[in-house]
Structure 1
Amino acid sequence: MTICDSKIRLLDESIQGANQMAPRVPFLFVPCSIGTLAFVAYVVYLSSSSLYVVPESQLKLQCGPVEGFPKRLRVYISDLEREMNYGLLEDYWSKQDSRNADHEDEPRNRYAKMEYPPYPSNPLIKQYSAEYWLLADLLSPSNGLAQRVGRPEDADVIFVPFFATLSAEMQLDRGKAKFRHKTQQNADYLRQRKVLDLIKSSPAWKASHGRDHVFVLTDPVAMWHVREEISSALLLVVDFGGWYMEDSKASSDDATGMIQHTQVSLLKDVIIPYTHLLPTLNISEDHPRETLLYFKGARHRHRGGLVRDKLWSLLDKEPHFVIEEGFPNSMGREQSIQGMRNAGFCLHPAGDTPTSCRLFDAIASLCIPVIISDNIELPFEGMIDYTKFSVFVSVHDALQPKWLVNHLKAISATQRRKMRENMAQVQHIFEYENNYPGGIGPAVRDGAVSHIWKKILFKVPSIKEMIVREWRKPNGSHIPVRCHCT
């Protein structure tokens, strides 16, 4: 029995239980939209998580029978040329870029000749490697949640196998001055244009207006020049920080500060985790922690990251607080490992974007995250409850003198131990790497790839509903776009 089989059976049992508890009145059939059925199934899924509790009242819904809800996610891989994915890796490994200069000991020429070259180990790029692991899972002969199909008409979603982040990072290294310009000298722009021209001319895109197409945009600047054109698609993003310009323009015209643009939303898109850069610490190897709070990163950032400089000034001289500049590259990796594993709490303030791989390094290190980022969105929320192993602090409170220090000291050793135990239960959920050459092999059991497919799976009914609604619109009609999603 698959995961989805058990969830649907649980859904049926929940509905039956709700009917038994209802008053003895003539049976009332409450018609449900496909989106509602998806919501019910999703609520039932959440109820099975050890770190999430769904109120009983939310399960007392009377609906028609759940028919046609997918048991596995059927995925068609768009037919892109190899140069848009593994060919990019061949190009990357065949040349010495400044962004991988720290890794000269790697067998670059041998990597470049592989059928499935490894993803760069440079942390600046590796942190965005979800695109690599998702495609590898689809190419693997596995029995996971995602089932590859041979025709787009048989698919629930269409996966676009473009390594958009790698493309952007290679351009930033080889020609940063051209990155934001639509010129022949910008190889990343040319690749974006080639991918979009091919995808948008396909019958599959035209049939759905792109709503069932999946793009992986983990880097905040991935697909920078064509985002508006793919705004109808399902985007896999680490947060919405890459849309700060659109957010700013949209909210500046609204006195309430509401974001009005429709390029990204929690309803349409999926938040996915960064790839953590530090090794996972098993809770059996944990030891007493001497530092109260640890942070290693850049002091000066833009936008929401301006809070870092202010926090630095407040906390830098505090006893048992370690605040230092740096990044877990080849020079600072061991320092970061020791720093996080020796600290009770790890600071996670906003940077240029609301989140970073630092959060997932902290989870891997069993260091309780202290999240100071008011606009943060987190992966797999609902599937897991972050409040069971993280501390959330508003920017306003964090900037009050001594507030954060006193707040963290008030959390007892018993509470901290329990939070680390809870964290250990979910560490595997953020694991991408499966230790198979080229990633071609079964995904980590119930890991990041599986959870991403689950998130997409539960969007399928609403995607299909949107496509059907689009089909029935008569020519010449105008229906305004509404997406006030959060």
Structure 2
Amino acid sequence: MALKYTATTVASSLRSLPTLFLSLATLLFTLSLILFFLFSNPNTQITPQTTVQQPYASINVYVADLPRSLNYGLLDRYWSSSATDSRISAESGSRIAPTHLPKNLRFPPYPENPLIKQYSAEYWITGDLMTPESFRDGSFARRVFDVDEADVVFVPFFATLSAELQLGTAKGAFRKKVGNDDYERQRQVVDLVRGTPAWKRSGGRDHVFVLTDPVAMWHVRAEIAPAILLVVDFGGWYRLDSKSSNGSSQDMIQHTQVSLLKDVIVPYTHLLPRLHLSEDQRRQMLLYFKGAKHRHRGGIVREKLWDLLVNEPGLIVEEGFPNATGREQSIRGMRTSDFCLHPAGDTPTSCRLFDAIQSLCIPVIVSDNIELPFEGVIDYSEFSVFVAVDDALRPNWLVGLLRSFSKEQKDKFRQNMSRIQRMFEYDNGHPGGIGPIPPDGAVNHIWKKVHQKLPMIKEAIVRENRKPAGVSIPLRCHCT
């Protein structure tokens, strides 16, 4: 009996050998695959979800050498002045001189005056580039100190602050060249930059200027037209101001100076704080608008809309600006309304759009010629309502459209809006704007848009450099 058991066991074991060998082969094959993936790519890390590190994309930026008087020195001048900005009321935060600002700050804060703060992109972009490289891991722009290594040359002129200092203290001199401090600064910047080998090599096509105020560098725009211009829209560039030009075509801003092919539309700096979706509460009003009724140029649409909407139930349409006295009122109005009206004013867009986004108030955009930041990355139709001017001016048409949206549709708009709020944030939370920036914020997205334009810019430089001496090719309009 014992012998029979042993024989049976041996026979059974012999029959199972092929299965054993198959199992061993499978195990060895699996181990070999694991070893291959472990050691064939040294950048691979084994984590709960294995990811392969990708090369970090960036744009190489050289900062042009300008004296401090043309950037942070302008902030010194602003904070040391005792003047007030005559364009807004004294109680609205227009006073220039603070009482508790430390003296001799290397990087002073940007003004809280809302007329100036809305254009502060120049401050945050420059602050990122001034941050020590060891703190710039999240920046898409890589600062280089050899111009031959640069993709672009950034010109650190606070053009908006320069213009606003002139407008706030001596507006009458702004359009003149004599007695205009802003013009003297513009002239100094252009003479310094255009005299460098870098400008002469590229014709300025790889230089970057921040011109967020529609009147920034007003007198020298033709001279910097080939450069990459960071602007909030094109509205201030196209139109002839009859008061300043008296019909003279030489004072007209030509379409050839701005183009979506070479320039970048950047966001205004929002003036109201961010509302997170989890904090949103029930909204009682249909539509909110706070602003000036009477505007120039395209603002005639705003006046007509105002008259149509001002007495409609469920709508708030009021004069004002989100400054020191009206800020809380604006916050409350935008956070308790489903929709926020965004009509064209002096230019097709304004900071009001970005205040609405931060307030999760669905923008109603009535501006046929508007250009928007980061299109191609953002689809504004997913959280905004676009209305043709002709339709908006039909009696009862706009209100009827807005009342037709269901709660589910409005909730979806706000969910989509909450996902892109961060893209319009400039403030990095560091004193003087010097410190790490949020990787998903406005500054990085601006540099990514500039990066997209590099192949075309390099092509334009090569084309320009191969022209025979004395040959002139006229500028052409590439506005769309």
2:471 to 467, 477, 483: 477
Match of 1:76 in 2: 62
Q: Is 1:89 aligned to 2:75, yes or no? A: yes
Query: How much identity, in percent, do the aligned residues show?
Result: 65
Whether the 8 Å CA contact 2:283–2:335 is kept in 1: the answer is: yes
Q: Is 1:335 aligned to 2:329, yes or no? A: yes
Task: Read off the aligned partner of 2:129 and give its amino acid letter.
Answer: L
1:242 to 219, 236, 243: 236
| TM-score calculated relative to the size of structure 2 | 0.82
Task: Read off the aligned partner of 2:147 and give its amino acid letter.
Answer: P
Distance in 2 of aligned mates of 1:105 and 1:124? 12
Distance in 1 of aligned mates of 2:448 and 2:398? 36
Whether the 8 Å CA contact 1:93–1:112 is kept in 2: the answer is: no
Distance in 2 of aligned mates of 1:352 and 1:91? 28
TM-fit CA distance, 1:485? 3.3
Match of 1:179 in 2: 174
TM-fit CA distance, 1:477? 2.8
Bigger CA drift: 231-240 or 135-144? 135-144
Match of 2:110 in 1: 119
Task: Read off the aligned partner of 1:377 and give its amino acid letter.
Answer: E
Q: Is 1:155 aligned to 2:150, yes or no? A: yes
1:350 to 344, 347, 369: 344
TM-fit CA distance, 1:113? 2.0
TM-fit CA distance, 1:260? 7.1
Q: Look up the SS of the partner of 2:256 in the other structure.
A: coil
Distance in 2 of aligned mates of 1:103 and 1:444? 30
Match of 1:130 in 2: 121
Bigger CA drift: 342-351 or 103-112? 103-112
1:309 to 269, 278, 303: 303
Structure showing greater radius of gyration is 2
Distance in 1 of aligned mates of 2:74 and 2:167? 14
CA deviation map 1:291-343 (0-9, x unaligned): 00000000111111101111111111111011000000101000000000000
Distance in 2 of aligned mates of 1:289 and 1:188? 45
Distance in 1 of aligned mates of 2:231 and 2:99? 29
CA deviation map 1:427-467 (0-9, x unaligned): 00000001101111111231100100100011111111111
Whether the 8 Å CA contact 1:179–1:186 is kept in 2: the answer is: yes
Q: Look up the SS of the partner of 2:236 in the other structure.
A: helix
Task: Read off the aligned partner of 2:116 and give its amino acid letter.
Answer: I
Distance in 2 of aligned mates of 1:211 and 1:172? 29
Match of 1:409 in 2: 403
Whether the 8 Å CA contact 1:89–1:112 is kept in 2: the answer is: no
RMSD (CA atoms):
2.0
Judged with a 3 Å threshold, the aligned counterparts in structure 2 of structure 1 residues 246 and 158 are, in CA distance, closer, same or farther, namely farther
Task: Read off the aligned partner of 1:317 and give its amino acid letter.
Answer: N
Q: Is 1:422 aligned to 2:416, yes or no? A: yes
Distance in 1 of aligned mates of 2:375 and 2:389? 21
Distance in 1 of aligned mates of 2:148 and 2:240? 34
TM-fit CA distance, 1:173? 1.5
Map residues 151-300 of structure 1 onto 2, 5 A cutoff: 151-183=146-178, 185-245=179-239, 261-300=255-294
Distance in 2 of aligned mates of 1:186 and 1:137? 30
Q: Look up the SS of the partner of 1:225 in the other structure.
A: helix
Bigger CA drift: 386-395 or 171-180? 171-180
Task: Read off the aligned partner of 1:199 and give its amino acid letter.
Answer: V
Match of 1:7 in 2: none
Q: Look up the SS of the partner of 2:101 in the other structure.
A: helix
Q: Look up the SS of the partner of 1:110 in the other structure.
A: coil
Q: Look up the SS of the partner of 2:239 in the other structure.
A: helix
Match of 1:318 in 2: 312
Whether the 8 Å CA contact 2:344–2:366 is kept in 1: the answer is: yes
Distance in 2 of aligned mates of 1:454 and 1:309? 37
TM-fit CA distance, 1:190? 0.3
Judged with a 3 Å threshold, the aligned counterparts in structure 2 of structure 1 residues 157 and 402 are, in CA distance, closer, same or farther, namely same
Judged with a 3 Å threshold, the aligned counterparts in structure 2 of structure 1 residues 246 and 463 are, in CA distance, closer, same or farther, namely farther
Across the two proteins, how many residue pairs are aligned to each other?
Answer: 409
Match of 1:140 in 2: 131
Distance in 1 of aligned mates of 2:398 and 2:324? 31
Distance in 2 of aligned mates of 1:171 and 1:112? 23
Distance in 1 of aligned mates of 2:100 and 2:175? 31
Distance in 1 of aligned mates of 2:476 and 2:237? 18
Distance in 1 of aligned mates of 2:340 and 2:125? 29
Q: Is 1:448 aligned to 2:439, yes or no? A: no
TM-fit CA distance, 1:71? 3.1
Match of 2:380 in 1: 386
1:374 to 363, 368, 379: 368
Judged with a 3 Å threshold, the aligned counterparts in structure 2 of structure 1 residues 244 and 470 are, in CA distance, closer, same or farther, namely closer
Distance in 1 of aligned mates of 2:103 and 2:212? 23
TM-fit CA distance, 1:104? 5.7
TM-fit CA distance, 1:108? 4.3
Distance in 1 of aligned mates of 2:181 and 2:327? 32
Whether the 8 Å CA contact 1:260–1:484 is kept in 2: the answer is: no
Distance in 1 of aligned mates of 2:476 and 2:172? 37
Distance in 2 of aligned mates of 1:98 and 1:381? 38
TM-fit CA distance, 1:97? 2.4
Whether the 8 Å CA contact 1:70–1:457 is kept in 2: the answer is: no
Whether the 8 Å CA contact 1:307–1:395 is kept in 2: the answer is: yes
TM-fit CA distance, 1:87? 0.5
Judged with a 3 Å threshold, the aligned counterparts in structure 2 of structure 1 residues 306 and 290 are, in CA distance, closer, same or farther, namely same
TM-fit CA distance, 1:479? 3.1
TM-fit CA distance, 1:98? 1.1
TM-fit CA distance, 1:478? 3.6
Judged with a 3 Å threshold, the aligned counterparts in structure 2 of structure 1 residues 112 and 395 are, in CA distance, closer, same or farther, namely farther
Task: Read off the aligned partner of 1:72 and give its amino acid letter.
Answer: S
Q: Look up the SS of the partner of 2:61 in the other structure.
A: strand
List gaps (5 residues or longer) in structure 1: 1-68, 253-258
List gaps (5 residues or longer) in structure 2: 1-54, 248-252
Bigger CA drift: 457-466 or 99-108? 99-108
| TM-score calculated relative to the size of structure 1 | 0.81
Judged with a 3 Å threshold, the aligned counterparts in structure 2 of structure 1 residues 338 and 284 are, in CA distance, closer, same or farther, namely same
Match of 2:47 in 1: none
